[in-house]
Amino acid sequence: MQPHLDVRFDAPVEVPEAHLDSDPVQAHITASEELASLGYWEDAYQRLRSAVELMAGPEHRPHLVRAELDRLRREHAMVHEQARRDFLTASYNRRYLDDRLATLLDDPSVARSGMGLAMVDIDHFKKVNDRYGHPFGDRVLQRVVAELGAALPEGAFCARYGGEEFALVLPGCDPTEAVAVCERARIRIDRHRWLELDPELRVTVSAGVAHTVAQPPDVEQLLVGADVLLYAAKGAGRNAVAFREESGTVALAGAAGARRDIPQPASLDY
């Protein structure tokens, strides 16, 4: 079933009296608007094409058809893009993440170099909301997303997984590159001028980075593996990026690697 989309045309098509009987024309226009409001875009295109062909004379028909269809396609593209975005942070949403992960496994760059996936969580975010309120917390979320996406490689993207948890998808990155990208993002967030929002505010994130080493790669295993490593980073003191070395040992990137107590969850084939 097509998803319901609440769409209205800003400029309804006017029917010239000089042309053919307006009843069939108006019927096509009405049907087009109703189909578009329900998300049946291809059917709406065909109805609108029929209406314009009835309205226009042969000498103007191609131009008018193209103009009207281009307008409808632009509206379709805008609504489609909005449906893929999280309304608060403008990052991609969970629906887009799930759909894109499934298609990326067949991408040539992923088949060649694999794909990194990081689950990123804002440390102690509940305390931020409790102390400052949810509108303030929303501003923190928006700035974290901006820093997460500030230096992503080509083809990579950030998606809101839920609440204060985000996914960084890094197609074509080998394990070392994926960890380095996430560690740089963690540092940017740690060093961000949070005092511009409040003099006492400090925000950090923890992340777990998994990679598609299993053949064939499996999306669910990749997500679970990244989530396990995220909780290892939190268990090691937070503000850290956790990953697995080739031996299977869980390690932390950068300066956090010197910490003594790093949880070692069971190994997963991901």
Q: Which residues are known catalytic residues?
A: 164
How far apart (Å, rounded) are the C-alpha atoms in residues 164 and 120? 8
| Whole-angstrom distance, CA of residue 51 vs CA of residue 61 | 11
For the chain, the residue count is: 270
**C-alpha radius of gyration, the chain, whole number:** 25
CB atoms within 10 A of CB 48: 24
Q: What secondary structure letter does DSSP report for 236?
A: T
Residues facing residue 209 across a β-bridge: 118
Report which DSSP code applies to 257: G
Looking only at the bridges linking them, the beta strands covering 241-244 and 115-122 are unpaired
Q: Please, what is the end-to-end C-alpha distance for the chain in angstroms? A: 34
